[in-house]
């Protein structure tokens, strides 16, 4: 079993839809959870950062972490064509020097 599992998609939705992106993980030591957005041929851009379990909201984006289920989610409300990108989840175990473990990424396509 891989440490982080993420459905590669593509996930196609119409503009305005609510999008749900998910990752599962196996390492119970993970405490820090991030979502990155990567446009084609570009570096990943940090979208959301969450520590431990709970929800965090930033504009149209909501990140959820359920450590008991080892499951994290990113919700995008009122999706826009400009949200079309690959979304990578990432997680790490500790503070200070920290190595991130990435999911493979989910490609999202939002059609006008």
Partner 1 sequence: GAVVSQHPSWVICKSGTSVKIECRSLDFQATTMFWYRQFPKQSLMLMATSNEGSKATYEQGVEKDKFLINHASLTLSTLTVTSAHPEDSSFYICSASHARQEGVDTQYFGPGTRLTVL
Chosen residue from 19, 25, 64, 105 binding partner 1 by CB under 8 A: 105
SS3 39: coil
Structure-token pair, residue 63: 């990140």
Question: Quick check: 112 binds partner 1 (CB under 8 A)?
Answer: no
Question: Quick check: 45 binds partner 1 (CB under 8 A)?
Answer: yes
Q: Which is nearer to partner 1, 18 or 46 (CB)?
A: 46
Torsion angle of the four alpha carbons 81, 6, 89, 24, in this order, in degrees rounded to the nearest 10: 130
Structure-token pair, residue 5: 């599992």
Question: Quick check: 71 binds partner 1 (CB under 8 A)?
Answer: no
Question: Quick check: 43 binds partner 1 (CB under 8 A)?
Answer: yes
């Amino acid at each position: 079993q891989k440490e982080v599992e993420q459905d590669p998609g593509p996930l196609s939705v119409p503009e305005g839809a609510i999008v749900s992106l998910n990752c599962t993980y196996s390492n119970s030591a993970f405490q820090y959870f991030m979502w990155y957005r990567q446009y084609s041929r570009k570096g990943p851009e940090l979208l959301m950062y969450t520590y431990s379990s709970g929800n965090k909201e930033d504009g149209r984006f909501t990140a959820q972490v359920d450590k008991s289920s080892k499951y994290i989610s990113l919700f995008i409300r009122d999706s826009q064509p400009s949200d079309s990108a690959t979304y990578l989840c990432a997680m790490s175990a500790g503070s200070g020097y920290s190595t991130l473990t990435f999911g493979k990424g989910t490609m999202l396509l939002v059609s006008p």
